Amino acid sequence: MADCLVFHTQIASIMEVLANAAVAEICKLVDDDYAVFRLEITQSRKENRTLRRKLLELKVARERAERTTQERVLASRPSSVKILDQYRGMARGHLTEGHGSFVKPAGHNTYRDDQPITVDEGSGTSTQQVIIIESAETEAAGSGVKLERSEREEDPWHSRDTQTRAAVEPHVATKDPPTIAPAPPRTRHRITEVSGTQNAVLKSETDTDTLTVTHRLLRTGSDHRSDPERLGLGRLGCPPASGSEYLLHSNPSPRTVHSLRDSGDAFETGNDLSCSYTTEMDPGIMPLGLETLTDLSRGDWNRYSSSVYSEGCLDKKGEVVVVDEVTVKVEGDAPLTWNVDKTDLGEGHSQGRDFLNYRESLETNPNVTTQSPLHTVRDRESVSTSMGPSNSQDHVLFDQVLNSKGQKAKAQGRGATSGKSKEKRFLCIFCNKGFSCPQKVEIHQRVHTGEKPFGCTQCHMRFAEAGNLKKHQRVHTGEKPFSCTQCHMRFAQAGHLKRHQRVHKGEK
């Protein structure tokens, strides 16, 4: 018995020794790895800093050369344009880091039956972000602020920089106060929940020799926590620049706003409540095929999404963005494209088709002019800036829906600024199209969000509009209230009767 005890004691002591040895070894390994890891991190940071410095130098040098070229052009332009170009040039210099991200238009969402649409017919509780265009009290910059799109290379971040520079470097603005001086914020906002997606588009006008800027604020619900880099939100959230025309305000939704400071260290340091932002959202609500890519090869999208956020400043106050009278005019030699592969679009989704149609139409009609009275960045052209693709053919314009189905001509014909019709002050935050009242915008924005609050009680079909549901339900009821006076044909839709009657008339 005693031997047994001694034996057990010895075993225990041996086990203890072995365990200690094992722990010591593990600790040593961990320490070693940790040291190596730290060393690698340190080296990587050093490399990053070096590269960043080099990039800065290159940019500055390039801007210097470019500015020299521009000055020659500016000699024939209004002074306000000169200022803007100066802004631009300066802006480029200190923008060396981009958040490569790619955000598909929400319109690419594909509707799914299992999509958690919780709004039933008639509830109409969908909330959308709305941009309101307000009549401008002044014609501040007017058409004088236009930028030439012939510029060789445009900085994707320019739009942001244009504003940030205005704020950071007021001495520049003083060169031409009437143009650059910050206007009293004429914006009020309403950014409301759109099934987890928030999206804002601010687009500036271009003229025949100007360039177009689309500012877009996207919030996608592809993930629980939207990564600011993925979403290209890296730079939003800055305080409104003095020259900022647009302000995007979020509603007091329980959305978390993070920020990244607008510095080269943003990548390293993570969140900083000074500049960009991202939001938290419910991915389940808005899973509709939204994707975000970090592929930097998608230059335009990256630029696009990035430039957007320079513009927007979220403010948890209003829910509607009010903008001055707006006109969108896109002319140019280079085709305007979405620069997105068709394969990236939601297959079969009408909105995706719209985007593509638009792109194709622009490509085939490079000189197409999109002039909607809805979109005019008329003053405070510090907003107006270049999308700045390095490739002139890659001008990205996101006036998709407005133009995709020939609505362009309509919009022109029924200009809101004609004075007779209601002023279309309410802008779609996705495509910047204007509407006469917020309800219209809300309905329209369902095009982008995929929201379909109206469900048929007899089938799975859902609709964005009550009227279309009503029309659809005739399919079930068999009701065909529209009968041809010249034959026995009956139709469920008035338009079909009208179209049918052309057959009798021999019209085509």
Partner DNA sequence: CTGGGGATGGGGCCC
Partner DNA sequence: GGGGCCCCATCCCCA
Residues in a beta bridge with 464: none
The nearest distance, CB 160 to DNA, in angstroms, is: 28
The nearest distance, CB 504 to DNA, in angstroms, is: 9
Angstrom CA distances, 102 to 350, 358, 413, stand at: 20, 19, 34
The nearest distance, CB 480 to DNA, in angstroms, is: 7
Q: How far apart are CA 434 and CA 411, in angstroms?
A: 9
Nearest to 381 by CA among 85, 71, 155, 131: 85
Query: What helix, strand, coil percent values describe the chain, rounded to 5?
Result: 40, 10, 50
The nearest distance, CB 301 to DNA, in angstroms, is: 21
> Would you call 56 exposed, middle or buried from its count of C-beta atoms within 10 A (0-12, 13-18, 19+)?
middle
Residue 238 or 447 having the CB closest to DNA: 447
Contacts with DNA by CB under 7 A lie at 122, 124, 350-351, 353-354, 357, 401-402, 405-407, 410-411, 414, 421-422, 433, 435-440, 443-444, 446-447, 452, 461, 463-468, 470-472, 474-475, 489, 491-496, 498-500, 503, 508
Residue 67 or 472 having the CB closest to DNA: 472
Q: How far apart are CA 296 and CA 386, in angstroms?
A: 19
Residue 229 or 354 having the CB closest to DNA: 354
The nearest distance, CB 424 to DNA, in angstroms, is: 7
Residue 145 or 441 having the CB closest to DNA: 441
Q: CB atoms < 10 A from the CB of 436, how many?
A: 14
Give the ranges where 94-209 is alpha helix by DSSP (H). Answer: 158-168, 170-173, 177-180
Token readout for 447 is 């095009």
Residue 385 or 403 having the CB closest to DNA: 403
The nearest distance, CB 249 to DNA, in angstroms, is: 16
The nearest distance, CB 132 to DNA, in angstroms, is: 9
The nearest distance, CB 477 to DNA, in angstroms, is: 10
Residue 244 or 404 having the CB closest to DNA: 404
Residue 28 or 499 having the CB closest to DNA: 499
Residue 3 or 506 having the CB closest to DNA: 506
The nearest distance, CB 452 to DNA, in angstroms, is: 7
Helix, strand, or coil (residue 26): helix
Nearest to 159 by CA among 313, 41, 323: 313
**Mind giving me the DSSP string for 405-451?**
TSHHHHHHHT-GGGSSSPP--EEETTT--EESSHHHHHHHHHHHH--
Q: How far apart are CA 106 and CA 91, in angstroms?
A: 30
Residue 52 or 472 having the CB closest to DNA: 472
Q: How far apart are CA 128 and CA 68, in angstroms?
A: 45
